[in-house]
Amino acid sequence: MKLAAGICFFHSNRSLREMKKSTCSLPLLLLSILCSFFLPYVVRSASPVKSVILLNCGASSDAFDADKRGWSNDSTAPFGPSNSQYSFPAEASNADLSLLASSVPYKTARIFTSAVSYNFTPLSKVRHFVRLHFFPAVYLDRNPSNAFFSVKAGPYTLLSNFSPAITASALNQAYIMREFFVTIPSGSLTLTFTPSQSTSDSFVFINGIEIVSSQELFLSGASTVPTNQIFPIRDSDALQTVVRLNVGGAYVPPTSDSGLFRTWYDDVPFVFAAGLGVSYPRDPNVSIQYSDAFPRYIAPVDVYGTARSMGPTASVNLNYNLTWSIAVDNGFRYLVRLHFCEIQSEVSQVNQRAFNVYMNNVTADPGFDVILYAKSKVQAPLYTGVAVYKDYMVLVPSQSSKQSDLLIDLHPDVDVRPYYADAILNGLEVFKINESSGNLAGPNPDLPPAFPPEKSPTSSSRRQGGGHKLVVAGAAGGVALALVVGACLCCLLCRHQQKKKEKMSGDDGTKWMLSSPYVQERNGKSIVSSAEKSDAFLSNASNAYCRHFTFSEIVAATNNFDEALLLGTGGFGKVYKGEIDSGTKVAIKRGSELSQQGAHEFQNEIEMLSKLRHRHMVSLIGYCEDSSEMILVYEYMAHGTLCEHLYGKKRSPLSWRQRLEICIGAAKGLHYLHTGAKRTLIHRDVKSTNILLDEKWVAKVSDFGLSRMGSEKDDSHVSTVVKGTFGYVDPEYYRLQQLSEKSDVYSFGVVLFEVLSARPALDRSRPTLQVSLAEWALRCLRKGVIEQIVDPFLRGKIATESLRKYAETAERCLADQGTDRPTMANVLWNLEFALSLQTSAEETDEKGMAAGFVDSLDDQIQEALPFAKVKRSDDDINCLTPDTMTSSTSFGGGSSTTMDSEKMHPSAVFSQIMNPNGR
């Protein structure tokens, strides 16, 4: 019987077609066929097996996902749904599958119109991960916005009135995965999906189900905050994963996670404001040591082998917090797990690095020392590389709002006088714990503000009175008049269409028309799709955030494209200031037929910006493609372009701090592009005219018409035709036609020198050696005469060390080879560092004298750490470096996930000084 059950379990993860192709013997093949018929009866009496069930719902055959994991279909697998009369397989339609990291299991779904259950048995009587996958798309002509449903697992309510469409739109994600952790005492798990009764056409859809058994992850209780009591995690407790982050490291796929198939995401999108600190990559010379108290399955080596710390400079670290901000549902308890591992060889003794841990501005763990904690739990000859973790319990009380932010802060504890004023973290997990009723479900998130509905013209009131004859006569006259008017309109429309065709056709007969998805291909020729005749057909993500304007609305908003409202002219066309919805100011970019940028750039801009939301990226409000027009509507940026304030017509004397904050904002936007998705997004046209400033002088990156989706993470570039603006184009990209995110870094380096010098990237009025700003700036740096490129307005106003750090960063950006250039995360951190140096200098001495500035920093360091040793060098005079410290500290950044946790003005980042009660 055990053999039969084992074969049947194998069969549930492998298609019959694959088995027939295999080299198994005929008796074994016959036995497997018999198992397919008698499996429901066999499994009930068979002994439990370790569960690893991957169910591709709605699929007709087994398949592999992008991580090479095999998914069984639920049509022939033993774990198919009950009530099959209410269950229908479906395939996603009207959806952009390119948004998916893997088409399996998201391409197909199982649709339910009534309560339906999946029963999984036999299972081990241990905790199991239950992962539910949802891709909001059109299934069997059903609108995903009508899908509201609940999911129960035994006594636990996992989801209630859940809407995948609302959740995906609010989070700006293409698909949703919800992970739960439940105990199965009976050895059987039943998942019940029930449509909500809120709407008559409500239904359920599910794309994939994972059931993975686990060893016990909660070996001891959690320390409550702030009472520091032990809160036990019972077998009857169910948990939901809120976040699982590889702090300071890259995305860890399920296949690299100790057989538990957990996904560890990059933590950069959750780092509060710009306090990214320093990330440390995996050091092959440091081996990670696990123990009985902290076994290997708790977290993989890729998590403990990387880390994020505050940085090597004490004066900076003492004035900000390393903070992560996690959105959570109010009214629940949360288990916060922090993973620690000292991976720097310099840190191997107690009290070398000690820091305070704060949660929601309350002290959770004062003076935490990773080495000391490891010594109290593990016996080891050397404690560098020893993996440990600690659990905390936080109550987030019920409030009027649905969600709030859970803040996890780290800050050096100077009271215990550690050798390094620093803090470190390797991994972060947050779990929601069920209520006493067994409920884990939270409310659906709020959608972004909707645009007001378009007003329909009111019908004219009918006149009263008149006899029957007058009514008949009036009706007859009206019909006749309508026929005459209709005939005239038909003639006019025919003439208009003919002129439109002539206008859209060139000499060779080719049409100036939008490319896919606005047009379809038939017999090798482009034709207007039915979608274009009504509404432009964009991907789901685009439609979720883009408003479709009619041409008449655009004309009204711009006063018929009044030249007095002209803001500027670019490669795509003219940009006008407009007003919509009775007062909302917008910028309206109208494409020109003579523009070198055309339909592809128009479509690219919509597709790119509709999927991206960030404080430092210009928001796309909508578009118009009526009457062969190509018009984009953006949020209005009151202060125009950065270029105009450096040397343009709106030139205003920006201070050095203002310029630094603008550069930091632009760097944040570009960093989000490079790390906010599984595939890198490359801007390809970074320049000062594409950095806009709003009414509060917040910098935002704009103009994504030339942007390209980057390569997969294991590739270094994509090959493409060179596009961009002369003076900013990466020379390596120009030579090899190989585009990477380092091409954006080069262009941004030119912008940095542009900001410093207040002169354009190319100035043909200057002597030959000074025409190219990049070449001239590098030449001045190598000769040691950097002051020659500084804007005269700034001379004597920049702190020496701030200028040195800024120029060094810009110089590295302009390295000839992309591999020698920093990431945008590096650039961002160094610009923040330059800003902190400038701020400290201004606070110390308004004149920014270099000698007084350095002495003041030394005094601050010695006051906080009187026994620390300071070693100065030409490269980093402010770096707190004991004699035993090496100079190989890495300033690497993160690499993947979606980022938008901006809640603090850049200049305030380093003013968050901790006190014993929190931040």
Residues carrying an active site annotation: 685
Contact between 73 and 60 under an 8 Å Cβ cutoff? The reply is yes
Least Cα distance to 293 among 216, 381, 240, 393 occurs for 216
Establish how many alpha carbons lie within 13 A of residue 682's alpha carbon, considering only the half-sphere containing its beta carbon: 28
The span from the CA of 801 to the CA of 713, in Å, is: 36
Contact between 112 and 87 under an 8 Å Cβ cutoff? The reply is yes
- Extract the runs of DSSP E, i.e. beta strands, from 330-464: 332-340, 355-359, 362-368, 388-396, 403-412, 424-425, 427-433
Q: How far is CA 654 from CA 646, 649, 662, 793, in A?
A: 8, 14, 10, 9
Helix (H) or strand (E) holding 795: none
The span from the CA of 554 to the CA of 585, in Å, is: 12
From the number of C-beta atoms within 10 Å of its C-beta (0-12, 13-18, 19+), residue 498 rates as exposed
**Omega into 445 within 30° of 0, i.e. cis?**
no
Contact between 321 and 270 under an 8 Å Cβ cutoff? The reply is no
Q: How far is CA 734 from CA 157, 527, 719, 725, 746, in A?
A: 57, 35, 11, 11, 12
Residues, the chain, total? 919
The span from the CA of 312 to the CA of 829, in Å, is: 12
Dihedral of CA atoms 68, 72, 74, 79 in degrees, nearest 10, equals: -130
Exposure string over 645-660, b if 16+ CB within 10 A, otherwise e: bbebeeeeebebbbbb
Exposure string over 147-163, b if 16+ CB within 10 A, otherwise e: bbbbbbbbebbbbbebb
CA 312, 313, 314, 318 torsion-angle sign: negative
The span from the CA of 274 to the CA of 252, in Å, is: 23
Least Cα distance to 643 among 686, 683, 691 occurs for 691
How far from chain centre, in Å, is Cα 370? 30
Per DSSP, the three-state class of 6 is helix
